[in-house]
Amino acid sequence: MLVKLEKHINVKFPFLKDKKILVAISGGIDSVVLTQLFSILNFDISLAHCNFKLRGEESDLDEGFVCNFAKNNNKNYFTTSFNTKEFAQKNKQSMQVAARNLRYSWFQEVMRENCFDFLLTAHHADDNLETFLINLTRGSGLNGFTGIPEINENIIRPLLIFSRDEIIKYAKDSKIVWREDKSNSSTKYIRNKIRHKVVPVLKDINPGLLETFSKTIENLDGSKQIINDRVLDISSNILFKTKLDSLEIIKIAILEINKLSNPKAYLYQLLKQYNFTEFNDIFNLLTSQSGKQIFSKTHAVLKDRDFLILSEIKEKKTSDIYYIEQNKSEIRNPFHLKIEETLESSLENKSIIYISKDKLIFPLIIRRWKNGDFFYPVGMNGKKKISKYFKDEKLSLLQKEQAWLLCNNDDDIIWLIDRRQDNRFCALKENTNTIKISLI
């Protein structure tokens, strides 16, 4: 096993030599064997252990084992503990997902603070098969069927080429001591249920299951690369990145995506990284009326005439109010405005307004628009509701949400910022008492 691992490292991970490495260790057989192997191969490793406080005294005994193991083997080590149950309930996550998020977040924190180059985890071939089967039961896309990646940014999984049986045999032959997690024998969790009830049947049908599964993963990886290349190829005609105020958005051309052989499949490939799950609903946006939206936990897709508009969901602060005090020459929140006295006067630039100073009541107010707001748009006759102005200008829902108003202290609207000034506050050409406000 040692020889096989060394050859594999030389081929797949030659960059690990002379690097500072953190090894995730639970105290179980897999992580202990991983630690022993990399110690024998003279890598510079330290150990990191998480106590999830889920198994009472057993969890504390695992932590004690790791601490003694590290000291006996002259290894630096880091330990932490979590109230995993409380975290899972608070974030509405399963215990397994909560534990995973906690440990990887902590591992990355330890690596940043101590300048580690890579993290090693002890996932092996049986873990890979179990993950594939779990994803199969959940209706995963191709990404879920390509297995656990050997390299994922700064995380390396060097034992994926070994089976659980190989690891157990090596540990017993080498008289390695480890901690047995008693919960591994329980079928309470889906992974254990698959491990103890499904995989043995599959291995009985095909004793070489792990070997053939490895070939399947290799084939699927190849298919995944072809798909990625194709999506990259068509993206230049379909995706358009732009900005709406400070918000970065991606516009997806509906006409172009409908020309493709399978628009729904392409939408999945284009949007899967943004945490969407209801792709039937997203596909239906192509033919829905403008204004309809679909949300993930992190992003929104909006139908806006000939485009789907993808944007990140940011916390709305519609109640926020900002003030511009008299004699203030510049503000930078909620955006950058420059204020100065001038002899100029113009209505041609939407990002610059010229105001009669004697009509202003300080402090001026910057706020979000609300229903019922109205103003007297320059170049138009009479007053108009902001909502009606948006409709006439055919602004998308996203553009409406990003709109800000500059108001007098009596709440009369001076400027629909970066769009239209109010006619009541325009400086006359002969007026020498003029304030110029520029959106930078």
pLDDT at 349: 80
pTM above 0.85, yes or no: no
| 131: its two tokens | 């993950």
Residues 141-169 have pLDDT tens digits of 888 888 899 999 999 999 999 999 999 99
In this structure, are strands 20-24 and 44-51 parallel, antiparallel, or unpaired?
parallel
pLDDT at 334: 87
C-alpha 412/C-alpha 313 separation (Å) is 30
Domains of the chain, first to last: 2-205 (3.40.50.620), 223-312 (3.30.465), 321-439 (3.50.40.10)
Q: Which of 323, 324, 183, 304 is nearest to 250 (CA)?
A: 304
Residues 266-284 have pLDDT tens digits of 999 999 889 888 889 999 9
**DSSP one-letter string for 213-281:** HHHHHHHHHHHHHHHHHHHHHHHHHHEEEEEETTEEEEEEEHHHHTTSS-HHHHHHHHHGGGT---HHH
| 47: its two tokens | 């150990």
Is 77 within 8 Å of 60 (Cβ atoms)?
no
C-alpha 402/C-alpha 395 separation (Å) is 11
Q: Which of 75, 208, 217, 23 is nearest to 132 (CA)?
A: 217
**DSSP one-letter string for 362-419:** SSEEEEE--TT-EE-BTTSSS-EEHHHHHHHTT--HHHHHT-EEEE-TT--EEEETTT
In this structure, are strands 404-407 and 413-416 parallel, antiparallel, or unpaired?
antiparallel
C-alpha 421/C-alpha 440 separation (Å) is 16
Residue with the larger pLDDT of the pair 10 and 428 = 10
Under the banding of pLDDT at 50, 70 and 90, the label for residue 21 is very high
C-alpha 422/C-alpha 405 separation (Å) is 11
Region 119-128: mean pLDDT is 96
Residue 319 above 70 pLDDT? no
Is 375 within 8 Å of 335 (Cβ atoms)?
no
| 362: its two tokens | 């300080």
Q: Tokens 């960059």 identify what position?
A: 15
Under the banding of pLDDT at 50, 70 and 90, the label for residue 379 is confident
Q: Which of 34, 38, 48 is nearest to 16 (CA)?
A: 38
